[in-house]
Structure 1
């Protein structure tokens, strides 16, 4: 189930992105595994047309992409490009670089899909409205986060304000250095006696 959803969704994105298929075509026949902790693994290979195909072969794949589902909220909020920073890629360097590049830059053209259902003008307006809603949602979350941080530092005194951390850090560094000098003096005195 998970494998077919992943392959269908990714191939839909690849069908909208000719550059991505061209980048993957030289790697036709190569195998990869997407390890989604804790859900499981999806094995796939690159087809001759540059799209993904199911792979159920024996042995280990040439490339493994490890992604923790705990990073899924970041994927939904910031897109695939930012989530790819948290993916650990192992295996054949050339193939891994091609897969990583494609995943980092692959984007869904929602307007293209919606235009088939509602027409070009309506699709353009729907996507524009969706972007405005998402942008406003992000701004609201940033404001709420700032307000929460202010409350926790100023009123509830649960967190230490940043203004206190800088001098404290400097004092801590000075104390560490003083302690290191004192240890050296004690060691010198012990050698003399």
Structure 2
């Protein structure tokens, strides 16, 4: 439930936004290469990201599939920054394995971190995964007037983050990112 001041603060921020979607997965990249659609990559989380974004009246500027590689992840985000996308969402590479480098690659690029996203995501995830929530390193921040989210790769994590946090707050976030 929003307070009157929160409702007033969000006023004028609701419209259609453009999303740049990136799946980080070495195994999928090795099998499918550089594709332009989650359908081509048999990417369930990518399809879910796209479908949820579109279902709320937003657009997808581009979809990319990249391996767990620092320079390729950064390259994808730099392309997203140069695009007309308002919000960038990465999925995958946020775990604790040595190959999981999305957080190490992207968080240092943030001009401002949005710690409340990771905190809220982990809080909401407890109902789904219990104490395993301590393994998630989901993060968000601002970068050159855009909002960047780093999500785990599981479809349930993608659905939770987009449906319950990102999409409801998209306009509010973009409004502040542009100020």
TM-score by length of 2: 0.25
> Which has the higher relative contact order, 1 or 2, with Cα contacts under 8 A spaced 6 or more apart?
2
Which structure has greater strand proportion?
2
**When the two structures are superposed, what TM-score results if normalisation uses the length of structure 1?**
0.24
Structure with more helix by fraction: 1
Which one has the largest radius of gyration? 1
